Amino acid sequence: MSAASVPLPRWVTFGLMPALNLAVAFLISGLVVAFIGESPLEAVEVLLTGALGSGEGIGYTLFYATNFIFTGLAVAVAFHCGLFNIGGEGQAYLGGLGAALVALSLGEVLPWYATMPVAVLAAALFGAAWALIPAWLQASRGSHIVITTIMFNFIGAALMVYLLVNILKVPGAMAPETRTFAEGGQLPKLAFPFELFGARLGAAPFNVSFVIALLMAVLVWLLIWRTRLGYEIRATGTNPTAAIYAGIPYRRTVIVTMLISGGLAGMMALNPVMGASARLQVEFVGGAGFVGIAVALMGRSHPLGIVFAAILFGVLYQGGAELSFWIPSITRDMIVVIQGLVILFAGALENMFRPALARLFWRVPTASSVKA
């Protein structure tokens, strides 16, 4: 109890502890792999070379990481206000609608760099709109945001299927998806940083939305730690009574925070919709909204931590896909188990080693310490 509250050096909290947690997660994953009769070392090798061993692998890793940065930031902003936004999945889904509408219309006539800012705004607006009702319900009626955002994930999914099947689908086509965007509705790939090192991006859909993601990470940092709104968000999140005392309006703060959170989640759609498939498809979000929760937890709601955690999860996604391809006995489900272990140790049990480390750091192990 007391050991958990003892302050530790920053490098221990932010460096050593996550590293330890990760190591334990991989160790147990290794045991699981060994249990089904495969070599853990070989599995690690396949996973790492698959994710980081080639230009294409890195491209895919960063492509996935882009999704997770957006959704991780979305969850983190809400966390700072004491809100648990589980609705990233639905908000991103609706964000895709916003991005697609812009890509389908403006993309016909404008070049990509002119379409993009409008698409970013539209995606954010649609995502934010999808967070508005849960936010309002929480702020005014006290309906728990966890419940309402989960509900809105389902409503969002149903709505999008309806729109894609009945309205946005190409007439005569079988697939529930829009037509392919024109050139101006597609985000260009980011190949040049790879070519700089003589590597090739290959088929990897790594694109400019990665830059937008990094920009958002910087903006979120500024928002939370450098603006008055961020101050008010943090005050409301850590001590709502003190926030009311300080004249910070609870309703406004909750609603604005959720709009920002939903907007960030919505922007995630840019990457898969305009950056990769160049059309709006069903279920393009693919769980990134939920992974964002793990990313935000692991990154301790700090943008820098979130970028690193997102890349780690990108490695697991891309490396995991390679792993199940090359070692068929390690199925997709096994990859999910490994990802689950990482979330368990790095997220849920993040403070597991804290008491032991605290003891290690504050104990002065001299001969004259308390005797039995």
In the bound state with another protein, the residue whose beta carbon lies nearer, of 6 and 147, is: 6
In the bound state with another protein, the residue whose beta carbon lies nearer, of 235 and 335, is: 235
| Cα–Cα dist 96/40, whole Å | 39
Which token pair is 203? Answer: 């088929």
Question: How many CA atoms are closer than 13 Å to the CA of 19, on its beta-carbon side?
Answer: 6
Contact 208, 116 (CB under 8 A): yes
In the bound state with another protein, the residue whose beta carbon lies nearer, of 203 and 364, is: 364
Q: How far is the CB of 369 from another protein (least distance, A)?
A: 6
In the bound state with another protein, the residue whose beta carbon lies nearer, of 1 and 174, is: 1
Q: How far is the CB of 246 from another protein (least distance, A)?
A: 4
Residues engaged in binding another protein (CB under 8 A): 1-2, 6-7, 222, 226-228, 231-232, 234-235, 238-239, 241-249, 362-364, 366, 368-372
Q: How far is the CB of 13 from another protein (least distance, A)?
A: 13
φ, ψ (nearest 5 deg) of residue 206: -65, 125
Q: How far is the CB of 116 from another protein (least distance, A)?
A: 24
In the bound state with another protein, the residue whose beta carbon lies nearer, of 223 and 291, is: 223
Dihedral sign (CA 28, 30, 31, 33): positive
| Cα–Cα dist 366/199, whole Å | 55
Cα angle 119, 120, 122 (rounded to 5 degrees) comes to 60
Q: How far is the CB of 17 from another protein (least distance, A)?
A: 18
In the bound state with another protein, the residue whose beta carbon lies nearer, of 166 and 368, is: 368
Of the candidates 319, 367, 333, the residue with the CA atom closest to the CA atom of residue 36: 333
Q: How far is the CB of 4 from another protein (least distance, A)?
A: 11
Cα angle 287, 153, 276 (rounded to 5 degrees) comes to 45
Partnered with residue 177 across adjacent β-strands are 281
